[in-house]
Amino acid sequence: MRKNIDVKKQEILIGVTAGIAAYKTADLVSRLVQSGYGVSVMMTREADALMGRRIFQALTGRMVAVEMFSRTGEAIPHIESGRKADLFCIAPATANILGKAAHGIADDLLSTTVLAFDGPILWVPAMNVQMWKNAAVQRNLSQLRADGHQILGPESGYLACGETGMGRMVSPETIFQTIERFFSSQESL
């Protein structure tokens, strides 16, 4: 049963990249929808190939944006999607999307929408421990923080590659609680 929120229904745009942790994002989206948030999902093509948009369409009851120039009815999807959202959360955030955002690269729908979004952005990184420790990734994270973006995680644990270390995406519950605190206080993430 969907919980009704007394205040204006908050809209959240979830960006999904091609990290194996995307299965956790499905859990996050389900929690958000069940709590009464309006949730739209945008995926990279690679995430769509890995996970499939139909899962997120079923969870949200909305079409999932993947292509820059789709026939969804939105004239300019990377602008329109961002205008509707009160918060943009990218989970999992791979090293690739973090690098694109930190350097202003807009070569697909998700990275273009990040540049066009004029609100709070929450990045939830997930990647191999060696990638996480890479100096370029750390520079990109520092740049995003300097630009006013929020980073949540990662945490240490068992990774999909079989290694153990920093790079594991935080739990859907932790992301959900962070979003709840943001909307309840309207302070920074």
Catalytically active residues are 161
Residue 178, both tokens: 């962070």
Q: How far apart are CA 35 and CA 143, in angstroms?
A: 33
Report how far residue 69's alpha carbon sits from residue 67's, in angstroms, rounded to the nearest whole number.
5
Q: How crowded is residue 120: how many other Cβ atoms within 10 Å of its Cβ?
A: 18
The dihedral sign for the CA sequence 65, 68, 70, 73: positive
